[in-house]
């Protein structure tokens, strides 16, 4: 059974006189344990799609199910409760609290969930080790690099073991080394913890770390690529070729 199933998703903005249809009937499924990237040119609707799939925004029409929960039918209070327990988020701009240490930022979802200190400490030690940030636990965001901030953000997203992680351009503010460090860690967590990840990216290199890439064009599903048994380098070439056909930005491999 799929973990996430979106059926005939429409999203419009404005009124009947200035209506702008951004998503035009998208059908999408994500299996448990998949690492999926969503790509498309600027204005294609990829970020809007991520926002409605993650319940940050509401659909105009259609149905989204995560696990056994139909999220499009839920009121905001119930949605907030659902997000707290079942969803993790990694944003481009980190969204860390400057007044909290790295460890305190990471532990936030568990303090909200009222987990015991002993259990929370065990969860923290595991995810901090997986992301290579044990040695900066006592530092504040202003004292660490962009790559370390994003790995802290990733640890916060993973620590409560959500059903699915949504990542919005997580490498957008990072240099190439920090980006590859983060993507290798996400790929490892996807394998080791069977974590399900849905990531929006404009970067074919970032997308090549995933197992499937979905291309969006003009608010509709254009095509998708499966990595299968290919090397990451081979998959990257396929992604770049498809992106070129779509009219996206070309990158050197």
| Phi, psi angle pair for 145, to nearest 5° | -80, 170
Q: Is the pTM of this model over 0.85?
A: yes
Class of the CATH domain delimited by 33-58+75-247: alpha beta
Q: Which tokens belong to 12?
A: 């419009």
CA distance 1 to 22: 28
Tell me what pLDDT residue 252 has: 39
Q: Is the pLDDT of residue 247 over 90?
A: no
User: Tens of pLDDT along 85-112?
Assistant: 999 999 989 999 999 999 999 999 998 7
Is residue 182 within 8 A of residue 189, CB to CB? The reply is no
Strand bridging mode 87-91 / 164-168 = parallel
pLDDT above 70 covers a percentage of the chain that reads 97
Tell me what pLDDT residue 178 has: 96
Q: Which tokens belong to 182?
A: 């983060």
User: What is the dihedral sign for C-alpha 140, 145, 149, 151?
Assistant: negative
Q: Where are the alpha helices (DSSP H) in the chain?
A: 46-53, 76-86, 102-112, 117-130, 146-158, 176-192, 204-207, 232-246
Report CA dihedral (7, 189, 92, 245) to the nearest 10 degrees.
-60
Gyration radius (Cα) of the chain, Å: 18
Say how many C-beta atoms besides its own lie within 10 A of residue 43's C-beta: 11
Please identify which residue in the block is written with the tokens 């990531």. 199
- Indicate the SS3 state at residue 19: coil
Confidence category of residue 251, pLDDT binned at 50, 70, 90: very low
Average predicted confidence (pLDDT) for the chain:
93
Strand bridging mode 4-13 / 220-226 = unpaired
User: Tens of pLDDT along 114-135?
Assistant: 788 999 999 999 999 999 999 9
User: Tens of pLDDT along 18-33?
Assistant: 889 999 999 999 999 9
User: Tens of pLDDT along 13-68?
Assistant: 998 888 899 999 999 999 999 999 999 988 899 999 999 999 999 999 999 999 99
Which residue, among 75, 28, 63, has the nearest Cα to 221 in the 3D structure?
28
Strand bridging mode 20-30 / 87-91 = unpaired
Domain ranges of the chain: 33-58+75-247
| Phi, psi angle pair for 29, to nearest 5° | -130, 145
Tell me what pLDDT residue 172 has: 93
* Total number of residues shown for the chain: 253
Q: Which tokens belong to 8?
A: 């005939």
Please identify which residue in the block is written with the tokens 């996400």. 186
CA distance 22 to 102: 37
């Amino acid at each position: 059974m799929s973990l996430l199933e979106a059926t005939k998703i429409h999203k419009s903005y404005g009124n009947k006189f200035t209506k702008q249809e951004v998503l035009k009937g998208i059908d999408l499924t994500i299996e448990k344990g998949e690492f999926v990237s969503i790509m498309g040119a600027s204005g294609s609707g990829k970020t809007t799609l991520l926002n409605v799939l993650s319940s940050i925004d509401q659909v105009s029409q259609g149905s989204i199910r995560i696990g056994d929960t139909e999220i499009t039918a839920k009121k905001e209070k119930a949605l907030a409760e659902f997000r707290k327990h079942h969803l993790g988020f990694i944003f481009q701009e980190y969204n860390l609290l400057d007044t909290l240490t790295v460890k305190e930022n990471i532990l936030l979802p568990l303090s909200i969930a009222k987990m015991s200190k002993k259990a929370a400490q065990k969860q923290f030690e595991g995810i901090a080790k997986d992301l290579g940030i044990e040695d900066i636990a006592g530092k504040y965001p202003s004292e660490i690099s962009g790559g370390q901030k994003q790995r802290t953000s990733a640890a916060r997203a993973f620590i409560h073991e959500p059903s699915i992680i949504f990542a919005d351009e997580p490498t957008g503010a990072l240099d190439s080394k920090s980006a590859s460090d983060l993507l290798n860690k996400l790929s490892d967590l996807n394998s080791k913890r069977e974590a399900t990840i849905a990531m929006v990216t404009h970067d074919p290199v970032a997308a090549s770390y995933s197992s499937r890439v979905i291309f969006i064009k003009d608010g509709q599903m254009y095509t998708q690529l499966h990595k299968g048994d290919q090397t990451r380098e081979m998959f990257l070439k396929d992604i770049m070729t498809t992106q070129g056909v779509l009219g996206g930005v070309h990158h050197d491999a």
